[in-house]
Amino acid sequence: MTMTQKILAAAAGLEKVEAGQLIEARLDLVLGNDITSPVAIKEMERIGAEGVFDKDRIALVPDHFVPNKDIKSAEHCKCLREFALRHGITHYFEVGEMGIEHALLPEKGLTVAGDVIIGADSHTCTYGALGAFSTGVGSTDMAAGMATGKAWFKVPSAIRFRLVGKPGRWVSGKDVILHIIGNIGVDGALYKSMEFTGEGIRNLSMDDRFTIANMAIEAGGKNGIFPADELAQAYITERSQRRFTVYEADEDAVYDEEYTIDLSALRPTVSFPHLPENTRTIDEIRREYPEGIEIDQVVIGSCTNGRMDDLRIAAGLLKGRHVAKGKRFIVIPATQAIYLQAMEEGLLKIFVESGGVVSTPTCGPCLGGYMGILADGERCVSTTNRNFVGRMGSVRSEVYLASPAVAAASAITGKISGPDDLA
């Protein structure tokens, strides 16, 4: 069995499972946010569920429109708040404690290796970086999970990505996953487990791994998962008191496809509108667009790239430099703890002095919410995860997905640029 199949077999109380098999598995954590949870709460009421299966194994994180941007978003959060209080939900995070859910839960030690986690948000696959099976579900599945502590799954087949080598200076986890999506397409891993293995993993930080697992859904994946090596186990034990189980794929595990990715051969990569698979390296951009591609805005943040490594890389490039005249530069730390750490390290001062603004933790512009909506014809370089038509505002705007290094360099030049383009 693969890593994912072993986790699902254990959660279903079975010795073995196979791809395509339907199972019912017990859940270690059920997650919802301020957009998806109200639907699940209403569904629980509709089916007459009297309570939740375990108040300690549900996490409710208002993060998409928080602090509330309008009356409707305030009503959603009120619904979430009242439900959490009514049922004594342990892991409910109010403004001042909250963060972007997929950065916050690992930080709080709520996700560990071997877990089965569902969340009413497509990027719940992030926790595979810690060796967990985690996947996004609809709000009705979230309702059933909160009520029963169980969910049914079709066991996914798998694709193996063998990572070798060491990435170059400006190549990060974002470049790795954009490269993969560019190769296999946005449906290349449809309902499959994307399993990352190989000696190259040891050259990726935990923040890199979170980014890669986070965007498995952008390739159509059911989940993304890494083996829980020493680095991952150290991350878990530093933050969590929970016992965890490390699963490794069998040597004879069956994969639909296998790819080898040489990290040393990768270059900073940008996803052009309007699909994540529409990728070009920074070198290809220089050749194809010798005059450059003018931009209007840069966003660094989101559940994909709002962590400490991301902010440090951006601040390192911006220190002593200034954002190009007339361009907007928005930084969104993913959690309160990251915000505080960035403040203590002086990173926020660098961002402000360079001509940027710093936001409270929120999903904000990633889904076209607020804190950086685009007008007709505007272009944004963003460290977020999707660049569909109208994703960040006007249907006639454009979003270019990139790493924090490329985003910061682009803010300085006012054009899509790599760090090597800076004088």
Q: What is the pLDDT of residues 345-395, one digit of tens each?
A: 999 999 999 999 999 999 999 999 999 999 999 999 999 999 999 999 999
Tokens of 260: 């080898």
What is the pTM (predicted TM-score) of this model? 0.95
Q: Which two tokens stand for residue 418?
A: 């790599």
| Residues 162, 23 share a domain | yes
What are the tens digits of pLDDT across the range 10-61?
Answer: 999 999 999 999 999 999 999 999 999 999 999 999 999 989 999 999 999 9
Compute the distance between CA of residue 335 and CA of residue 337 in angstroms, rounded to an integer: 5
Are both 174 and 286 inside the same structural domain? Answer: no
Tell me, yes or no, whether 191 and 340 share the same domain.
no
281: tokens are 């390296």
- Same domain? For 291 and 370 the reply is yes
pLDDT at 66: 92
Confidence at residue 422, expressed as pLDDT on a 0 to 100 scale: 87
- Of the three residues 209, 240, 263, the one that is the final residue of a domain is 263
Domain that holds residue 223: 3-263
- The pLDDT assigned to 212 comes to 98
How far is residue 111 CA from its own chain's centroid? 14
Number of domains observed in the structure of the chain:
2
Domain termination residue (choose one: 263, 292, 314): 263
Asked if residue 423 is part of any domain, the answer here is: no
Q: What letter would DSSP give residue 203?
A: G
Q: What is the mean pLDDT of the segment spanning 398-404?
A: 98
Output the CA torsion sign for 405, 385, 342, 331. Answer: positive
- Residue 142 belongs to some domain of the structure: yes
Residues 130 and 44 in one domain: yes
Note the pLDDT tens digit of each residue in 372-381.
Answer: 999 999 999 9
Q: Which of 263, 283, 308 is the last residue of a domain?
A: 263
407 within 8 A of 311, measured Cβ to Cβ: no
Q: Where would I find the H helices in 88-159?
A: 101-107, 139-148
- Tens-place pLDDT, residues 313-348: 999 999 999 999 999 999 999 999 999 999 999 999
- pLDDT, residue 50, reads 86
Domain harbouring 379, CATH code: 3.30.499.10
The confidence score (pLDDT) of residue 22 equals: 98
d(CA 63, CA 151): 24
Average pLDDT of the segment spanning 157-172: 97
Is the pLDDT at 423 greater than 90, yes or no? Answer: no
In a domain? residue 377: yes
What CA–CA distance (Å, rounded) separates 361 from 369?
13
Report yes or no: 375 and 398 within 8 Å, Cβ to Cβ: no
